Structure 1
Amino acid sequence: MFEVEIKVPADVDAVRERLREAGAERVDARRQRDAYYDAPHRDFAETDEALRVRRETPLPSGISPADAADEAEGPDPGSNAPPTAPETTKITYKGPLLDEGSKTRAEHETEVADPEAAAGILSGLGFEPAATVEKRREFWAYDGFTVTLDAVDGLGEFVEIERGVAEEGAIEAVRDDALDALDRLGLDGAEQVRTSYLGLLLAEDDADASDDG
């Protein structure tokens, strides 16, 4: 499976309104905590690969700061609000970028029942935690694509549009369709960021370290 993806910086509130006007459907919202790992046998920064363990919980009210704060505090003990859905965990491998005009990669992902056991397995094999990315995401279905509205701790707001394809030969056509869909949402694909959130955060950390020095 190949994930054809384009990411651009954006005001997520404005894009949300455009999605609603276009008849798009919000299908989910989640808080995600992504722990990335370094490999003992090769340098993922050089090979452009990634190994990630993602723990996520639902955000029923969406990703606005006020709603996210309320959900972090939990429901009022005296309320009749339903209990928070359980956390889920997935482990994901992402291969190197395959396309110069998008963030397309080969991707393999599966859910794991016990995140602590998964972390123990990786540690036992010599994989070491590298960095953690935390974000709030809304998922929208729009014109055959998944559009995500992202609020990323330490980085700001972004919009991603993506679709999975089974054959590498389909990447270019799907990428062009994604650029057209972004244009209809008032976004400029020429502003896309091909660096991962992990890479952006590590670059921020390096810049901060240089300033401190």
Structure 2
Amino acid sequence: MIEAELKARVRAPEEVLRRLDQRSEGRVEVYQDTYYDTVDGALDARDEELRVRTVHGPDDTRTLLTYKGARVDEESGSKPEHETRVQDAEAVHATLRGLGYVPAIAFEKRCRNYTFQSRGRQMLATLVRVPELDGTFLELETQVEEKDVAAALHDIRAVLAELGIGPDDLTSELYTASVKAHRLNATA
């Protein structure tokens, strides 16, 4: 499956939050993300991602192992995604290190997630704050077959417009790259 997704910088977070709250109940969660790569950066060079995410929610903590393939849509950055829940986060980290992967970057995302139906699709909207970065982001995604990516992105743009997000708000900025740049600037 492809994660058809668009991301935007949010200019009016309170208004977007109000509009999302009208669609469904938000779940506050904190993500601890660790991205892995080979020592020589081969995954990044191929536009692939290997991530261990531990999600701390109000009622539970869960860990997910995610592999994302190269982009199938350059403008949006939509990628094939394969994700599974794992029982033991430390065992997964140890397994990846044992296979020769190294942590490329780790950071925290503070999220409020909304799941709802729109335009015949199950959608996930996530309001995101990364403590190391300025601003609030909104990610809106749905899972589709590769042949349906363009139609799904059209629907996502329409929902973003309903939430007060315009085309000028969209960004292809990656959290991983932004956090790396922030850390480099902080040490310079």
Q: TM-score, length-normalised on structure 2?
A: 0.89
Structure possessing the higher radius of gyration over alpha carbons: 1
Whether contact under 8 Å (1:33, 1:54) holds in the other structure is yes
> Aligned with 2:171: secondary structure?
coil
TM superposition shift of 1:46: 1.6
| Greater strand fraction, Structure 1 or Structure 2 | 2
1:6 and 1:193 map into 2 onto residues whose CA distance is 8
- The residue identity in structure 1 corresponding to 2:34 is A
Paired position in structure 1 for 2:16: 15
Q: Deviations over 1:115-154 (max 9, x none)?
A: 1111111111111111112011111134242111111121
Paired position in structure 1 for 2:28: 29
TM superposition shift of 1:109: 0.5
Paired position in structure 2 for 1:99: 73
- Aligned residue pairs total 182
TM superposition shift of 1:101: 2.9
Paired position in structure 2 for 1:173: 151
1:186 and 1:27 map into 2 onto residues whose CA distance is 18
- The residue identity in structure 2 corresponding to 1:57 is H
TM superposition shift of 1:41: 7.0
TM superposition shift of 1:98: 1.3
Q: TM-score, length-normalised on structure 1?
A: 0.79
> Aligned with 1:182: secondary structure?
helix
Paired position in structure 2 for 1:152: 130
> Aligned with 1:26: secondary structure?
coil
> Aligned with 2:159: secondary structure?
helix
Alignment of 1:1-213 (within 5 A): 1-10=1-10, 11-20=12-21, 23-40=22-39, 43-59=42-58, 85-142=59-116, 143=118, 144=121, 145-155=123-133, 156-165=135-144, 167-209=145-187, 212=188
> Aligned with 1:109: secondary structure?
strand
User: Comparing 131-140 with 37-46, which one deviates more in the overlay?
Assistant: 37-46
2:138 and 2:41 map into 1 onto residues whose CA distance is 31
2:115 and 2:64 map into 1 onto residues whose CA distance is 22
Gaps of 5+ in 2: none
TM superposition shift of 1:31: 0.7
Q: Deviations over 1:18-71 (max 9, x none)?
A: 223xx3002522111001111257522221111100011114xxxxxxxxxxxx
- The residue identity in structure 2 corresponding to 1:124 is G
1:115 and 1:141 map into 2 onto residues whose CA distance is 25
1:46 and 1:2 map into 2 onto residues whose CA distance is 20
- The residue identity in structure 2 corresponding to 1:36 is Y
- The residue identity in structure 2 corresponding to 1:131 is I
